[in-house]
């Protein structure tokens, strides 16, 4: 499951895993340590390798440093390719909820209003900066002949995603 931050990757991946009765892995959970520290690449690769050994799984995230591993074992890539205003609205709502409620995320890390609105580390800023890059990246992957073994499902809106999910 891939897409820009805030597109709903984890929500859809979790639901898909439940419907198919297969494990769901969130790359952010495998990447982030306490106080927003990054897991070293080799450790993250070990964690992912362990997760994807099963016959069936769903994983969500955009980590290029480990993408080779998941692509090699995957049969399908689902891309949430929503328009930027939809993503930003979803991301803003999610981030405000998490910050106000002080929801614990990965390894005890929490989002904050200060970082969200007044920092270069803002997830909102990151989504704006990465949106076009992700679209180019996944558009190119869909036509890459070396990835012909993959089935690509490109969902363009939350409504299209819901129709697709309801068909599962």
From residue 97, how far is each of 29, 75, 85, 104 by CA, in Å? 19, 34, 18, 11
pLDDT tens, residue by residue, 72-97: 999 999 999 999 999 999 999 999 99
Output b/e per residue, 119-141; b: 16+ Cβ within 10 A: eeebbbeebbeebeebeeebeeb
pLDDT at 50: 95
Whole-angstrom distance, CA of residue 142 vs CA of residue 105: 32
pLDDT at 111: 93
Q: What pLDDT band is residue 7 in, cutting at 50, 70 and 90?
A: very high
Domains and CATH numbers, the chain: 2-166 (3.40.50.300)
pTM equals 0.93
């Amino acid at each position: 499951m891939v897409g820009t931050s805030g597109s709903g990757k984890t929500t859809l991946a979790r639901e898909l895993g439940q419907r198919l009765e297969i494990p769901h892995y969130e790359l952010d959970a495998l990447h982030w340590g306490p106080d927003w520290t990054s897991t070293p690449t080799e450790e993250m690769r070990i964690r992912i390798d362990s997760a994807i050994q099963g016959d069936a799984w769903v994983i969500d995230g955009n980590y290029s440093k480990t993408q080779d591993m998941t692509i090699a074992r995957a049969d399908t890539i689902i891309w949430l390719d929503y328009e930027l205003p939809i993503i930003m609205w979803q991301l803003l709502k999610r981030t405000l909820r998490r910050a106000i409620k002080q929801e614990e995320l990965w390894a005890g890390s929490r989002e904050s209003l200060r970082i969200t609105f007044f920092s270069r580390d803002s997830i909102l800023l990151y989504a704006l900066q990465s949106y076009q890059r992700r679209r180019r990246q996944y558009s190119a992957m869909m036509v890459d002949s070396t990835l012909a073994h993959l089935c690509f499902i490109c969902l363009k809106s939350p409504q299209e995603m819901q129709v697709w999910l309801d068909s599962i």
